[in-house]
Amino acid sequence: MMKLADAGFLLAETPRSGAQVSMLTTWHLPKNAPATYLRNMVDRWRQSRHFEEPFNLRLKPGLLPDWERLAPHQIDLDYHLRHSALPAPGGERELGILASRLHSNPLDRTRPLWEMHVIEGLERNRFAVFLKLHHSQVDGMGAIAMIERFLSPDPKNTNTPIWWEVPPRPSPPPESATKKSRFALPRLDKLAWALGDIYLNRSDDNVRPFTSPKTTLNVRLQQSRRVATQLIEISRLERIAKHEGVSMNDVALCMAAGALRRYLIERGELPEKSLSAGVPVSIRDNESVGNAITFLLAKLNTGIADHYDRLHAIHRSTSLSKERLRGLPDKTSRELLGAALLGPYLGQVGLNLAGRLTPVHNLIISNVPGPKKPMYMNGAQMEAFYPISAVMDGQALNITFLSYAGHYAVGFTSCRYGVPSMQRIAVYTGEVLEEMEQKLKVHAA
């Protein structure tokens, strides 16, 4: 039986508002790689006739979403695996245009819900791999677990496995889990308290659902998407977080909030009331397919111009939400909290009201921890891993920070028409970080 959160992404999907998520990875070709390196790799992949989850799963016909496993002969690999090249000069702009186009197209529900594009012609002797899946099958931490199964930490390993042939590798249950606790009922009393506090707490730091201002980010979408990226050294955020006694996620939220403030002021649309963000929190243990997340709500304090004051106001808001989450002692209760917060929004989408009514919150901002050391595929080193997430009616912008090998790869995904000139938000995010460093006098030694 499909989990409620997974089914929600399928039931809420429309032709204009697809729930596809993508991983854009860039790679350095191995030293002395032959001119046929990529062609040889793709040719080897095309010979594959073995598929593991989620690459062999297709939606069953019927009213309630569920998966069926396909036999290898039922999967058309030539459809799912595609080899293309960038137009010269093969820079970040050309890659971003192609990624935007690839992410715009919805996945074909009559087939397994994935596509892989191997993209050559990237400048500085690089190439890219663009993997698109459905959000019903993978969340941020699931994407990291998936890509870590495919890759190797050994640069000399020139025979890494084909991505879709690798079986899921479930994590062991937590050490504290016992037979009794695994099957325990959720603590409904504590869940009711948490939900009551979310809706009734009148603190300035609390975010109550459906009280955020309706902005240009909260409109109905068209199908076309726009993607932008930023690559930022993690140490820059670490220094600020340590200096100010806040979390890395607080710093990331402050950067995004400052960028959104600047963007909305530029358009003459900054509301008096602060924007808010839904912040996914992983509760994954042994899931191989699907979502295992709950949500926090964070006040972005976009009305505060000073970066120092905004950072500490955001910290107070996230601390309140984290304390509420810590009061839920079991995974099921935390999962139900996320469903209770996400459910009303998915209900708006299902009733075709999202983007017409007051939003639950203004956008999703995620922070996903990835591999700390460089990873390799057939001797090629992964340079960056950019997350490209789903946007849906009423939530026209998603910002995801993903850490890998000392850098944050930040993916900005929006509706091309709902959020005009979205790439400015990406640029402003980097500028806000520089201003925070200057304001707080926090720089590299």
Catalytic residues: 135
Residue 331 corresponds to which tokens in the numbers above? 């995974």
What Rg, from alpha-carbon coordinates, does the chain have?
22
Residue given tokens 């726009």 in the structure block? 226
Rounded Cα gap, residues 46 and 42, in angstroms: 6
Phi, psi for residue 334 in degrees, rounded to 5: -65, -40
8 Å CB contact between 117 and 84: yes
Handedness of CA 343, 348, 349, 350 (dihedral sign): positive
The alpha carbon of residue 51 and the mean position of all alpha carbons in its chain are separated, in whole angstroms, by 24
Return all residues near 71 (Cβ < 8 A) that are at least 6 apart: none
DSSP string of 115-147, one letter each residue:
EEEEEEEETTTEEEEEEEEETTTB-HHHHHHHH
β-bridge mates for residue 127, sequence order: 27
For strands 293-299 and 276-282, give the pairing: antiparallel
Question: Distances from the Cα of 393 to the Cαs of 27, 355, 443, in angstroms?
Answer: 33, 5, 40
b/e per residue 209-222 (b: at least 16 CB within 10 A): beebbbbebbbbbe
Return all residues near 106 (Cβ < 8 A) that are at least 6 apart: 13, 15, 18, 20, 223
Question: Distances from the Cα of 319 to the Cαs of 233, 246, 310, 316, 438, in angstroms?
Answer: 25, 9, 14, 5, 25
DSSP string of 361-373, one letter each residue:
SSEEEEEE---SS
Residue 356 corresponds to which tokens in the numbers above? 């017409």
